[in-house]
Amino acid sequence: MGKRKKIYSCGLEAALAVIGGKWKFLILFSVMQGGPVRFGDLRRSVAGISEKMLIQELKELELDGIVSRRDYREVPPRVDYSLTSFGRDLAVATRPLCEWGTRHIDRIGSLPTQAAAE
């Protein structure tokens, strides 16, 4: 029996299915800054992510065709990630949202729903 195709109510729901959650969007942003990007560099650029979560999210992004993984088969291990054409198209679509966030970063940080935990 074949796998059933997911039906989405709108394009935004479909896009969020690919990059939803906190980490995938930040990983995408880091890779789109000028990949290919090494794993260690991603770990440093995505503040607060654990190594386990970064590995999991990168595997999902690779499975969904957003990033490609290149393993150089060296010792010590060297792996880097870059955007696929599908991923570059997604990055272009997210750029205006990043710019909006940058323009309003102070206001967003002051919103009642964004209060930092003490």
Task: Please report, for residues 2, 16, 17, 104, the alpha-carbon distance to residue 21 in angstroms, rounded to integers and kept in the order given.
Answer: 28, 8, 9, 20
CA pair distance 57, 61, nearest whole angstrom? 6
According to the model, what pLDDT value does residue 1 have?
A: 60
- Tell which wins on pLDDT, 76 or 35: 76
Beta bridge partners of 64: none
| Domains observed in the chain | 11-101 (1.10.10.10)
Token couple for 55: 């590995």
The pTM for the full model equals 0.84
Q: What is the pLDDT of residues 4-42, one digit of tens each?
A: 888 989 998 999 899 888 899 999 999 998 779 999 999
- The H or E element spanning position 37 is strand 37-38
Query: What pLDDT does 20 receive?
Result: 86
Percent of the chain with pLDDT over 70: 96
State the average pLDDT over residues 42-46.
93
Query: Which pLDDT value is given to residue 44?
Result: 93
Instruction: Give the pLDDT band of residue 87 (cuts 50, 70, 90).
Output: very high
* Three-state secondary structure readout of 61-110: HHHCCCEEEEECCCCCCCEEEEECHHHHHHHHHHHHHHHHHHHCHHHHHH
Element of type H or E holding 28: helix 22-32
Q: Is the pLDDT of residue 101 over 80?
A: yes
